[in-house]
Amino acid sequence: ANSDAAAGSSKVRSILKKRHAVKMETAEEESKNNKTTSSSSSPQPPEPKKSKSHHKRKSSSSSNANASSSSSSSSNQIRCLHILKKHSGSRNPYSWRYKKKQVMIQLSKKGAIGELKELLEILAQSNTSAEDLRATFEELARTESDCSSARKGGDLGYFGKGAMQPAFEKACYVLKPGKMSGVVVTDSGVHVILRLA
C-alpha cells in the first residue's frame, strides 16, 4: 500500500510540476507583454498588502480571535487545511508563487474555479483513506495554493468563530472532520477546504 501511495504521490508531483512550469511561463510572458504595452510613465502596481492570512476577516476582532486560536484546541475551535486560488478580482491579487511578487494575478474568477476543480479531481482520486487525502491535500497546497499557509501544507491551525471571513467560516463549520468542501468563494479568491478537527 505504501508503494502505491508513493507512486501516486510521485505522479501527482510530476503532473503539478509540468502544470506549474507552464503557468509560470505564461504569467511571466503576460507580465512582459503588459510592461511593453504600457508607457514608461505609468505607475507601478501597488505593493501587495502584507497580511498574515488572506482568508481572515478585515476587522480587528480577528486578531483577538487569532491570538486565542494559537493556543490548544478547545471545544468551539476547529482546524482546517485549505487551498486558495486567487484571481484578478481578489482583494489582494498577488501570490507568493510568482517569482516577482509585483506580478498581479491576471487569471479570471472562472479560470481560478477551473484550476481549483482540476485539483478537486486529483483529490477525489486520492480519497481512498483519510491519510492519503490529507497527504495529497498538503502536497497540492504547498505547490498550488496562493495563500501563505501553503508553507504549512495549507494548515490554518485552530480557530474559532469570528476569526475568518463569513463564507469561509460557514463552509468550515458545516464540514465534519475528515471531510472536504467543494469550491468556496470569498473576497480572497476561491478555496477548497479539508477539515481536520
Q: pLDDT of 70-100, one tens digit each? A: 444 456 899 999 999 999 999 999 998 876 6
Is residue 83 within 8 A of residue 137, CB to CB? The reply is: yes
pLDDT given at position 126: 86
pLDDT of residue 62: 39
In this prediction, the residues of the chain whose per-residue pLDDT falls under 70 are 1-75, 99-101
Residue 11 cell numbers, joined: 505522479
Report pLDDT for 18: 57
- Which positions ≥6 away from 121 have C-beta within 8 Å? none
pTM score, two decimals? 0.68
CA atoms within 13 A on the CB side of 184: 24
The predicted pLDDT at position 101 comes to 65
N-to-C CA span, the chain: 26
Residues annotated catalytic, as ranges: 82, 147, 165, 188, 191
